[in-house]
Amino acid sequence: MNILVVGLSHKTATVAVRERVAFAPTAMERPLHELLALPAISEAIIVSTCNRVELYATSREPEAALSQMRRFLTSYHGLEAGSLDENLYEYQGEEAIRHVFRVASSLDSMVIGEPQILGQIKTSYGYAAEFKTAGLILNRFLHKAFSVAKRVRTETAIAGNAVSVAFAAVELARKIFGTLEGKTVLLIGAGEMCELAARHFINNGVSQVHVTNRTFERAVKLAEEFKGRAIAFDDFPDHLHQIDIVLTSTGASTFILGPKKVEEVIKQRKNKPMFFIDIAVPRDIDPRVNDVANVYLYDVDDLQGVIAANLKERHKEAKKAEGIIEEEIVAFDRWLATLDVVPTIVALRSRFEEIRRAEVDKTFGAALKNLGDKERRSVEALTSAIINKLLHAPITLLKQEQNDDSTDSSVHAVRTLFNLEPPKPEGKLEDLDDSAENQ
Amino acid sequence: MSINILLFNVTLLFYLISTILFLVEVSTRHLKTVGVARWILWGGFVFHCAALLFRFIEVGHTPVASLYESLSFFAWALVGTFILFDLRYRLVVLGAFVCPLAVILMLVGSAVIIGGVEPQQANPMLQSKWFPVHVTFAFLGHAVFGVAFAAGIMYLLQERMLKSKRFSALYYKLPSLDVLDSINYKCLSFGFPLMTLGIISGAVWANSAWGGYWRWDPKETWALITWFWYAALLHGRLSIGWRGRRAAIFAIIGFVALVFSFLGVNLLLEGAHTFKSMRGE
């Protein structure tokens, strides 16, 4: 049984293409069932996010299945056949496993290490489970992908350190203030980035938000949103001494704050540190403010610098993650191999033979110690005949079902029932004929 | 080699390994060696306690009379103080700055041993019950200020990285400026009373030994200067709101002065506190 992936992502397709092939999360039943209905496909999952659309499937005829999956993706969305060819990638076997593990671990994401993708795949898997399009292999495969992603997150620092302006600001503030609890933020001006940063600060424990704006009504509105307090723009310097963290992004063309004022404020605060985050372009705060003792000023470029360094670090960690993924591929491959019929039959036979041997030897060593050679041979033949008779039905079933979709479950059941170990000698079905039965 | 010297060397080895592990921790971003470093340091500390105990039995008085003994005791107090701080505030990174200090003291100590250790003659002055009180307070004070010194260096490093916006691996391992500054304050509020008690008990001891509380010998003078220095810092912190960088620099200079009054005065200047004169020659 082969694992297959067909899809496109932000790396191979523009958003204009991606949006045309996206699947609506509210209506996954129909596409999942249509995909499963394709003749070469045994199990199916559809992952559809704003950055990628991917089909995961298992099949015994990989080549046929891959082309059916490609066709499905175009025809389902009413696109011309072959129109996505330059955007689509396809993987099978080990490559497919690697791809899904990498995607789930966020190594293939636009921003490496961002955790959303894992949740999105979990949701996609949820639909497949709900509509029963995922079977034994994909169930196990996806669960493995989730645990690989978890291992990558805990064993590498791939998601460590901020890669957004807002988070970078929060991390820096923590380095200065330790805890953000009880700290006060002042928002000067309005802007998406500024508000986002303020929200992050609130989520991380900041207790009070003050807002000021040239248009006082806007300040009031924003203050309400943050359950904070609005301050008239002209008065804000008088409130600065109560503020620990200042976020500014006004449209002012000159500096609204210089080192002299800040020095005064710091004196008033008895040298308690202040952190200024200037997101405005042109800048709102005179860069010389950074030279005032106990004051830390970061402008947009400084924050971008922090982010760039963090991203570089994530890429370094990604290398470690690739190693983990390779390990896990080997482990998963081993499990997949146990689903093969031939080694299962071999293992089943040797398990029975092992038990027979052990029991016969035990009896020969004790109760039947005085048995002659001839009798011993009879006992051997008798016990062999019993296990061969017992094994006849299950082995015949496994062989017959070789090309049947239910084989995987039968093999899995046999493995589980008889606690068979995973090793897999390469053997041919013909070598396992029941010649022993004829003894 | 006496058992105390053997134990001393084992201790030094443990501290050395621990220091290396601490330094590896703070100079790399993702290696975590600090846990092992802590255990090894604890192991070294146990040996150190044993070394002091054997020395005590060997010489028959609190083993802080010779230069070698004092260095060892200083290092012991420093490591012990760090261990207490780490237990209480979970600030193991501090070890990267405290342990090298302890190792340096121990290395100087072993250099003194190589130069020939002086088993002490019984000296009635050292049998005074004020002697152990004096040295214990004095060296615990030294040790606490040693921790403040380490925290001060960490503060300055961290502050410089935050101001210049260039971060090395160390940045990710250091605690926040606020935490480092609060260590400065905590050390000051423990260290200053200890130092004061050390000076007072020293005066009482001097009185019982020589019949005078204060003789203005160089060591006493330096101790007083250092005491005033720390008093100024404490005052500045409490009433003027000194903190952060200034407090860190004060703690660093204060400790350098302390070490000078401990080592420099002994090695460079003559007076009642030099170990030679203590031997009662």
Distance separating alpha carbons of residues B206 and B208, to the nearest angstrom = 5
d(CA A149, CA A172): 28
Q: Does B176 touch chain A (CB under 8 A)?
A: yes
Q: Where are the domains of chain A?
A: 2-155, 165-307, 339-438
Pick the catalytic residue from A15, A27, A50, A381.
A50
User: Nearest CA to A349 among A306, A384, A297?
Assistant: A384
Judge whether A185 and A247 are in contact, CB under 8 Å. Answer: yes
CA distance A237 to A9: 49
Q: In this complex, do B162 and A174 lie within 8 Å of one another by their Cβ atoms? A: no
Across the range B63-72, mean pLDDT stands at: 81
Cα A32 from Cα B71, distance rounded (Å): 76
A285 DSSP 8-state letter: B
Spatial contact of A167 and A200, defined as CB atoms under 8 Å apart? yes
State whether residue A211 is helix, strand or coil.
Answer: strand
Indicate yes or no: CB of A178 within 8 angstroms of CB of B178: yes
Q: Which residue of A has its CA nearest to B241?
A: A270
Question: Which residues of chain B neighbour A293 with C-beta distances below 8 Å?
Answer: 244-246
Whether the predicted pLDDT of B124 surpasses 90: no
Which chain B residues are closer than 8 Å to A161 by Cβ? 172
B98-125: average pLDDT: 75
Nearest-by-CA chain B residue for A290 = B163
> Going along A10-103, which residue ranges are E strands?
43-48, 52-59, 89-92
Confidence of residue B277 (pLDDT cuts 50, 70, 90): very low
> d(Cα B161, Cα B165) in Å, to the nearest integer?
6
* Residues A420, A338: Cα–Cα separation, whole Å: 9
Q: Could you tell me how far CA A303 lies from the centroid of its own chain? A: 27
B186 shares contact with chain A (CB less than 8 Å): no
The CA-based diameter of chain A, rounded to the nearest angstrom, is 112
A302 vs B165, B171, B178: nearest CB: B165
Q: Which residues does B253 contact at the CB level (< 8 Å), separation at least 6? A: B229
Mutate to test the interface with B, among A175, A296, A301, A319 (most CBs of B within 10 A): A175
Look at B251 and A435; give whichever has higher pLDDT.
B251
Angle between helices A94-104 and A300-338 (to 10 degrees): 140
Least confident among A24-28, B233-237, B264-268: B264-268
- Characterize A307-321 residue by residue with b for buried, 16 or more Cβ atoms within 10 angstroms of its Cβ, and e for exposed: bebbbebbeebbeeb
* Residue A367 pLDDT: 81
Chain A residue closest in CA terms to B182: A178
The three-state secondary structure class of A124 is: helix
Q: Sort residue A113 into left (φ over 0), alpha (ψ -120 to 50) or beta.
A: left
In degrees, rounded to 5, the angle at the alpha carbon of residue B250 between the alpha carbons of residues B45 and B109 is 35
3-class SS at A175? helix
For domain A165-307, the CATH class is alpha beta
pLDDT of residue A31: 94
Q: Is A194 marked active-site?
A: no
- What are the Cα distances from residue A353, in Å, to A125, A338, A392, A429, B191? 41, 19, 14, 19, 77
- Taking CB atoms and an 8 Å limit, are B177 and A172 in contact across chains? no
| Whether A177 and B30 lie within 8 Å, measured CB to CB | no
Would the CB atoms of A273 and B177 count as touching at under 8 Å?
A: yes
> What does the pLDDT read at residue A421?
64
Report whether pLDDT(B116) > 70: no
Shortest distance between the Cα of A215 and any Cα of chain B, in A, equals: 33
pLDDT score for B280 = 38
Chain B residues within 8 A of A301 when measuring between CB atoms: none
For the stretch A30-74, pLDDT in tens is: 999 999 999 999 899 999 998 999 999 999 889 999 999 999 999
Subunit contact B244:A306, Cβ cutoff 8 A: no
- Does pLDDT of A422 surpass 70? no
Query: How far is it, in rounded angstroms, from Cα A277 to Cα A286?
Result: 12
* pLDDT for the residue numbered A55: 95
* Cross-chain residue pair A175–B241, CB shorter than 8 Å: no
Instruction: Determine the distance from the C-alpha atom of residue A62 to the mean position of all C-alpha atoms in its chain, rounded to a whole number.
Output: 25
C-alpha closest to that of B244 among B165, B168, B151: B151
pLDDT score for B219: 79
Out of A161, A175, A270, the one facing B177 most closely (by C-beta) is A175
Beta-carbon contacts of residue A393 (< 8 Å; ≥ 6 apart)? none
Q: Do A176 and B242 touch (CB under 8 A)?
A: no
Cα separation, A40 vs A54, whole angstroms: 17
Q: Measured between CB atoms, which of A270, A272, A296 is closest to B162? A: A296
Nearest chain A Cα distance for residue B55, angstroms? 44
What would the pLDDT profile of B162-215 be if each residue is shown by its tens digit? 999 988 888 888 999 999 999 999 999 999 999 999 999 988 888 887 778 887
| Structural fold of domain A2-155 | Beta Polymerase; domain 2 (3.30.460)
B235 has a chain A CB within 8 A of its CB = no
Q: Can you give the pLDDT at residue A401?
A: 60
Q: What is the pLDDT of residue B133?
A: 87
Is the minimum CB–CB distance between B184 and chain A shorter than 8 Å?
no
Q: Do A157 and B30 touch (CB under 8 A)?
A: yes
Q: What tokens does A84 get? A: 């996505």
Residues A252-292 have pLDDT tens digits of 888 999 999 999 999 999 889 999 999 888 889 999 999 99
The 10s digit of each residue's pLDDT in A178-236 is 999 999 999 998 778 788 888 889 988 898 899 998 888 888 988 888 888 999 998 89
Does residue A429 carry a pLDDT above 50?
Answer: no
